[in-house]
Copies of this chain bind each other. A is one copy, B any other.
Amino acid sequence: DKAETKGGLVVKTDDGRFEMKIGGRIQFDGYLATDDDDLGSPGLISTTGFRRARLTMEGKAYGWSYKFENDFTGAAAGGGFREMWIGTKVFDQNLRIGQAKPYRGMEELTSSNEIDFMERPFATASGVFTGNQFAQGLFLDGGGANWTYGISAYSLRNEDAAATEGVGGAARVTFAPILSDETVLHLGLSASSDHPSDNGTGAVTRTASGRQFGRIAGATAIATTPEERTAFGLELAGKAGPIYGQAEYVMADYKNEATEDEDVDTWYVQASYMLTGESKPYDAKKAVFKSPKPNGAMGAWELKARYDVMEGSEGTGPAAEEISYWIVGANWFVNPNVRFMFEYLQGNVSPFAGADVEASVFQVRTQFGF
């Protein structure tokens, strides 16, 4: 059998029927608060921290496969589980049993090693789907040359939380009418419905999370804990050579039997330009964009910007009616394993009553994927 390394490890049989990979990722962040006057003490904290430190084992045997991924920054008792599943092919479709990401929007399904910004936008578990990035159940996907589908039915169980009878389902379809190495146009559609347990476990809350920005907007979650969340998402993305753009819109309805229902809308648009001429690859099987591999010895340089906003319809006092931020920044892809991300983020929180809160932060990520 053959052993290979590019920083991680792959051992496979010559016929490819058996395989084991060991890899991981280290993401180390530094934060410098540039304006936190509007926030009470302690405000934003200029500090460092590991955003992710994961061990990932993957293998194949007799037509079945597994993925065993633990993030050591996670809480104990399974709180570090990320993808943790057993899979096989059924009628040439991919079936996975265990813990994985429900098929929601494009950015949610992009690996944290490949996302273009340090944090995902509000159209993901960093916003409207807080706490539900991973779920446990059945995950089926497939597709053709320029289209994909994914369907998932799951428990809202978090491995380190109490067992819950909360359940949900999510599905996504995508289509790429233009699909070449240099030019891509991507369209996507997703829908999900999540039902927490009557006893309150498996909650479907939504807040503005994502490390430093979570601190800007932390205490201002848009709505109360609902009995049901229904969400629809639209995706529009594409690239033309070194230019890339991506946008999503999610319309979520949180049903509160005791009070008014709440509609939460969120959308973002992000774009980048590769100074060194690379073109962002499109993964047609997962229907997401990936990171460019550098052309030259000095690595690849990318300029980028994002605007992201989440709006609620019901609420009072300091709860946020609108949370938004914009980011400008740059990425340096040193080699296929190492990257640096530099970002300046300016955020704004508008409560239903009271004055707006503004804050800004400069942040840097150092990352090694293996």
Interface positions of A (Cβ within 8 A of B): 1-9, 11-13, 18-20, 22, 24, 26, 28, 41-42, 45-50, 53, 55, 57, 59-64, 66, 68, 70, 72-81, 84-86, 97-99, 136-137, 154-155, 157, 159, 163-165, 199, 334-338, 366-368, 370
Are the C-beta atoms of A8 and B165 separated by less than 8 Å?
no
From B20, B62, B137, A338 is in contact (CB under 8 Å) with B62
Are the C-beta atoms of A61 and B12 separated by less than 8 Å?
no
Copy number in this complex? Answer: 3
Are the C-beta atoms of B86 and A81 separated by less than 8 Å?
no
From B59, B86, B163, B199, A5 is in contact (CB under 8 Å) with B59
Contacts of A3 in B (CB 8 A): 1-3, 11
A300–B262 alpha-carbon span in the complex (Å): 52
- Evaluate whether A49 and B157 lie within 8 angstroms (CB atoms) in the complex, with A28-B97, A86-B28, A368-B86 already known: yes
25 contacts between A and B (CB under 8 A): A2-B3, A3-B11, A5-B19, A6-B61, A7-B66, A9-B22, A22-B22, A26-B85, A26-B86, A28-B86, A41-B199, A45-B164, A47-B155, A48-B137, A49-B163, A53-B81, A61-B335, A62-B338, A72-B80, A74-B76, A75-B76, A75-B77, A76-B80, A77-B79, A86-B366
Other A-B contacts than A64-B335, A66-B368, A72-B78, 20 sampled, CB-CB below 8 A, are A5-B11, A7-B60, A8-B20, A9-B11, A9-B20, A9-B22, A24-B57, A26-B68, A26-B85, A47-B157, A47-B163, A48-B155, A48-B157, A49-B157, A53-B78, A62-B334, A64-B337, A76-B80, A77-B79, A86-B366
From B1, B9, B11, B70, A72 is in contact (CB under 8 Å) with B70
Nearest to A137 among chain B residues (CB) is: B48
**Quick one: which of A66, A99, A335 has the most chain B CB within 10 A?**
A66
- Evaluate whether A78 and B86 lie within 8 angstroms (CB atoms) in the complex, with A42-B199, A98-B28 already known: no
